[in-house]
Structure 1
Amino acid sequence: MLHEKNFKYAGTSVEKAKKVLVMIHGRGGFAEDILGLADHLKIDEEFALVAPQAYNNSWYPLSFMAPDEQNQPWLDSALELLHDLELDLNKQGIPSENIYFFGFSQGACLALEYATRNAKKYGGIIAIIGGLIGKNINTGNYITDFQETPIYLGTSDPDSHVPLERVEQTAEILKNKNARVEFRIYKDAGHVILPGELGVANNFIFGYPGKAKKA
């Protein structure tokens, strides 16, 4: 496996947690940085936070819209890492319906691709500026459904890395796979996470179960 099991943790320990939020950083990012965003999420003491660290700070080398074979073997390694993490959490008593994903940019693409290939009832997914992976989306990879998992998709129009059309295609596939999708488009917002959309995502995914640590 190219991507080693290098995880950073925050929040409640997995042993004591009832729910887990898996936070996936973008290209060039660090697990510690994506964990810092949890301060702006309305999660409570039931949550453990887990952030995997990509080898060389990247989950795969080229654009998420490059032909799949050009992003191998890194892409398969990243998907395998998340699969092993989910199984390990299940073994520790966290059912998949209590596992949540948060991803930004390349991390959002990876979170969406993994979850859709393994679709089941998850706690929820927040994907900011990302879409399903591949030069052409291979719907044959997605054979199960989300059982009404809530999924937040947010993107800028335009975005320098993620075409709006791909996010729109992703939203339709997720809906067809029985996900409850909240899709927001922010005009000329740039390749960033907006405080306002975190509020929308909080409400849709977490339902404001607790008070945010920071305003």
Structure 2
Amino acid sequence: MTAIDGPRLAPASGQAKALVVFLHGYGADGNDLIAIGREWQLLLPDAAFVAPHAPSLLPGSPMGRQWFPLTFRDPDERRRGVIAARPDLDAFLDAELVRTGVAPDRLALIGFSQGTMMALHVGLRRKVPPAAILGYSGMLVSPEVLKDEATGKPPILLIHGDRDEVIPIDALFAATDGLGAAEIPCEWHLSPGLGHGIDGEGLRQGAAFLASAFAPRKTFARMASQG
């Protein structure tokens, strides 16, 4: 097992009550997404943020990293890749939850591209389902086994550009279909004119989605006592 690490942001409030983990795309590293945490701190003051670097270097790149190798020639490499990469990421998430003192059900996974593949694969198989999964410009790997392997049904939001030249929008609709077949609800948003990236509207919707997922839930008993 390979230990992974990356940049962190402490909660603006000073006390972590939630943990947001950014999973970067193929060829990037944790520094690529941690700045989003700075934008979201006002709306999520009790959240700690971390953006781990994927465990292996991208061949031929001095700094780029990958969660798993991609040749784009083998149709099965994504399935093998997410399975192989899962133990390292799971161990990192467990360690971060202990380090921050955050409960496992107060975890949110945010992915971009290959990071979205990891967020969906790992998040839907965690022993304790996360509070939310947010995926940008990604895809759902091996949807045919999801119904048998999923351990929960956390809130999911998928956001994709309709001009994505790397992972076409067909991947978004394949993901929503695959999640639906596994009886896992999913929200989605299509960003007009956007290629393989994240725009301001996607950031706004992502932040609002997380704020809703982390908001305290009133129990029936509490609601009845207030009625």
The TM-score, its normalising length taken from structure 1, stands at 0.79
Structure 1 position 79 matched with structure 2 position 86: yes
Q: Aligned-pair distance for 1:18?
A: 1.6
* Runs of 4 or more consecutive aligned structure 1 residues displaced over 6 Å after TM superposition: none
* CA offsets 1:119-171 (integer angstroms, 9 cap, x no match): 7532112100001125xx44257523534x22110112242221322221212
Partners of 1:32 and 1:51 within 8 A in 2: yes
Structure 1 position 191 matched with structure 2 position 191: no
Selected match of 2:176 from 171, 175, 190: 171
Query: What is the RMSD computed on CA atoms of the aligned residues?
Result: 3.1
Alignment of 1:128-143 (within 5 A): 128-133=136-141, 137-139=143-145, 142-143=148-149
Separation (CA, whole Å) in 1 of partners of 2:147 and 2:50: 26
Q: Aligned-pair distance for 1:10?
A: 1.3
Task: Specify every segment of 5 or more residues in structure 2 that has no aligned partner in the other structure, as ranges.
Answer: 58-64, 216-227
Task: Specify every segment of 5 or more residues in structure 1 that has no aligned partner in the other structure, as ranges.
Answer: 211-215
Pair 1:63–1:139, CA change in 2 (3 A): farther
Separation (CA, whole Å) in 2 of partners of 1:101 and 1:64: 25
Compare relative contact order (CA 8 Å, sep 6+) and give the higher one, 1 or 2.
Answer: 1
Q: Aligned-pair distance for 1:175?
A: 3.9
The TM-score, its normalising length taken from structure 2, stands at 0.75
Separation (CA, whole Å) in 1 of partners of 2:19 and 2:183: 22
* CA offsets 1:82-117 (integer angstroms, 9 cap, x no match): 211233245454222100011111111211121123
Pair 1:74–1:80, CA change in 2 (3 A): same
Counterpart position of 2:50:
50
Counterpart position of 2:157:
152
